[in-house]
Amino acid sequence: MIPVTYSWPWAKADEAQQKETLKQLADAGIRHLVLSNKTIEDCIVTPELVAKYKKALAEFGLDFVDAHAPWGAWKDLGMPLESQHEQVVLRQKMAIRVCHELGVHSMAYHTGNTFNSIFGQDLKLEDYYQMLLRSLYELLPDAERYGVVMCLENQWTPLNQSAYLLKAVEHFNSPWLGICYDAGHANLTEHGQEFPGKTCVPSIWNDAKIPVVWEENMVGKLRPWIVNCHFHDNNGIVDEHKLVGQGTVDWNRIMNTLKDAPRLKCIQSEVSIREAGPTMQELRAAFGKLCDWLEA
């Protein structure tokens, strides 16, 4: 059975509140958590947190299954500045090691969302792509050594459109490199053009001086390479990260496509957690239905 992992901000609280939240998650029937980018970075800075978090989760029968790599303009794999490249790779190597120590076997990566307006150089999309390849060449040996599959995530910027993601994974054709399919992001890229003037098209397309690329059937195109998934819902206009079933994502089509995805390891809730909900029980019920689709 494909495990479901939950992104829940339990580590933001103090120790007593962390313990109470972990108990509530376990009582709700949740067993697997996402190792967040922030938690990874905390563990890099404060290594003793690794043992502390392992002990805390084990007390309630919980574990980490998948992760999200450190991300941002100066951390993403396609960050183009030569002067900063070594730092990017070292940070991501440490993130892979943290995953290994916490029992995580797949991690989602942003390829890069920022273009020339922040880096101040006249760079082309190909420059960013070549730096992405270089980063992967340097990181994949560590991924193999520590048993962590690197999963490039589809978003809605030039460097992580489906054509570039497929070109990258096919270039390496490695069992340690795959795709993280984000259903909410795919919904925007497939249906946003139905709402001219309203859709939140990232300004990066203008910055890169290339036309916006609208997608079709991303889950079908990416299926052979999909290792993990980020599941959340939206209205096709804004990246709302709603509970699955509360937007316009075609879950029936997605789950039917994923039934025979050969490399699929887990699905992850990336639903935004707010004071108004959803509750832990609502999350588990919604994702239970998705699992039923996969198993049917």
Domains present along the chain, CATH in parentheses: 4-295 (3.20.20.150)
> Which pTM does this prediction carry?
0.96
* Residuewise pLDDT in 10s, the chain (296 residues): 899 999 999 988 899 999 999 999 999 999 999 999 999 999 999 999 999 999 999 999 999 999 999 999 999 999 999 999 999 999 999 999 999 999 999 999 999 977 777 887 788 899 999 999 999 999 999 999 999 999 999 998 899 999 999 999 999 999 999 999 999 999 999 998 898 888 888 888 888 888 999 999 999 999 999 999 999 999 999 999 999 999 999 999 999 999 999 999 999 999 998 766 789 999 999 999 898 888 76
> Is the distance from CB of 148 to CB of 104 less than 8 angstroms?
yes
Q: Could you tell me what percentage of the chain is helix, strand and coil, using 3-state DSSP and rounding each to the nearest 5?
A: 50, 15, 35
Q: Tally the residues of the chain.
A: 296
> Is the distance from CB of 242 to CB of 195 less than 8 angstroms?
no
Six token digits for residue 167: 């070109």
